[in-house]
Amino acid sequence: MSNEDYLKDISEIKDLMNKSSRFISLSGLSGILAGVYALIGAAVAYWLVINHSGGLLYIFHGWVFWTCMAVLAMVAILSVITGIILTTRKAKKNNEKIWDNSSRRLLLNFLIPLVVGGIYCLIILDQGRYGQTGGLMLIFYGLALVSASKYSLGDIRYLGYIQIVLGLIASYYPGYGFWLWVIGFGIMHIVYGTWMHFKYDSK
Amino acid sequence: MSIINNINKLFDHRIRLGIMSVLMVNEYADFKTLKELLGATDGNLASHTKALENAEYILVEKQFIGRKPNTRYSATKLGKTEFKKHIEALEKLIKKT
């Protein structure tokens, strides 16, 4: 065997290791769109609170609270739908199956911290500690990303770290929770999505 | 010359290298998954898994999922060590020349 053959062997080994253990068809574009939805949602919530709730970003009441929750849910649902559509499209292009061992593992490892965090946020909201939710959402979302990164593009781990740090700051300064949420879910998604898009998708 | 000694003849085939690569990063892989990942035919894959099994580099488990027979493979400790040695030898060979 020549040197080139050995090189080919090594690159094939790497490729197989990745393909068999990681789901890599995540779409950068869906990250950008998720960030845009988050920004729009945050703008709507901000407007509502400023005009109808006395301008305090962490004291909600009555219908304003429920409308904000509905907006939040809309942002989440839209992001998930966009993610599924764009990822399916990319997987088809990559000849990767959308539902196999690697995507199942990815989803499971992503959802465990996320669902736990979601339930915890609901409990906190039920206790009326609204100021904490922004930080908690960031922290658990960050943990979910870190936990999922082993089964997908390794880069999302760093997005996870950023979200965790933002979340911890938000927990300490609940008054800035809203703005940190905007940075984490809005701006960071757009920045990261753009980066991923140029790194992987545009090739 | 010791480097050349570490090049393992048993791994000197792309399907076998492939099987080991997959089993290095996955706890288990079943026959169908391996077949799809490696793009091998049934007979071809079976003969290569047999060779690795005989060398005790991989472990074969036959079981039933519902009524369907399912064969799954995992790498043994020996297989993992030998594979690592082989890769290191490959890398050294490439660097040397």
Residue B1 has pLDDT above 50, yes or no: no
Average pLDDT value for residue range B19-43 = 90
Comparing A202 with B30, which gets the higher pLDDT?
B30
Average pLDDT value for residue range A27-39 = 94
Contacts of B39 (CB under 8 A, 6+ apart): none
Structural domains in chain B?
Answer: 2-96 (1.10.10.10)
Query: Around A122, how many Cα atoms within 13 Å sit in the side-chain half-sphere?
Result: 6
Average pLDDT value for residue range B47-76 = 92
Residue B60's pLDDT is 94
pLDDT digits (tens, 9 = 90+) for A109-120: 999 999 999 999
Establish if A3 belongs to a structural domain. no
Could you give the CA distance from residue B56 to residue A163 in angstroms, rounded to a whole number?
46
Could you give the CA distance from residue A66 to residue A53 in angstroms, rounded to a whole number?
12
Establish if A24 belongs to a structural domain. no
For residue B54, give how far its alpha carbon lies from the nearest alpha carbon of chain A (Å): 22
Establish if A176 belongs to a structural domain. yes
Give B-chain residues touching A96 at CB under 8 angstroms: none
Could you give the CA distance from residue B84 to residue B81 in angstroms, rounded to a whole number?
5
Establish if A10 belongs to a structural domain. no
Report the DSSP pairing between strands B68-75 and B58-65.
antiparallel
Average pLDDT, chain B: 87
Report the DSSP pairing between strands B29-30 and B58-65.
unpaired
Average pLDDT, chain A: 88
For residue A121, give how far its alpha carbon lies from the nearest alpha carbon of chain B (Å): 34
Report helix, strand or coil for A104.
Answer: helix
Measured between CA atoms, the residue of chain A closest to residue B87 is A10
Residue B12's pLDDT is 80
Q: At which residue do the structure tokens 């090739």 appear?
A: A203
B71 at interface of A, judged by CB pairs closer than 8 A:
no
pLDDT digits (tens, 9 = 90+) for B86-95: 888 888 888 8
Could you give the CA distance from residue A185 to residue A42 in angstroms, rounded to a whole number?
10
Tell me the sheet residues that pair with B63.
B70
Establish if A96 belongs to a structural domain. no
Residue B5's pLDDT is 64
Average pLDDT value for residue range A93-98 = 79
Comparing A58 with B53, which gets the higher pLDDT?
B53
Residue A202 has pLDDT above 50, yes or no: yes
Average pLDDT value for residue range A173-186 = 92
pLDDT digits (tens, 9 = 90+) for A118-167: 999 999 988 878 788 889 999 999 999 999 998 888 889 999 999 999 99
Report how far apart, in Å, the C-alpha atoms of A79 and of each of A116, A162, B68 are: 19, 19, 38
- Binned at pLDDT 50, 70 and 90, residue B20 comes out as very high
Residue of B21, B26, B88, B95 to mutate, interface with A, max A Cβ within 10 Å: B21
Residue B2 has pLDDT above 70, yes or no: no
**Vertex B25 angle, CA B19 and B26, to 5°:** 80
Average pLDDT value for residue range B12-37 = 89
Query: How many domains does one find in chain A?
Result: 1
Q: At which residue do the structure tokens 């764009």 appear?
A: A86
Domain of residue A183: give its range. 29-91+101-201
Tell me the sheet residues that pair with B69.
B64
| The token pair that represents B5 in the structure block | 């000694």
| The token pair that represents B36 in the structure block | 């799809």
Measured between CA atoms, the residue of chain A closest to residue B94 is A3
DSSP single-letter state for residue B40? -
Could you give the CA distance from residue B32 to residue B14 in angstroms, rounded to a whole number?
18
Contact A13 B94 (CB under 8 A): no
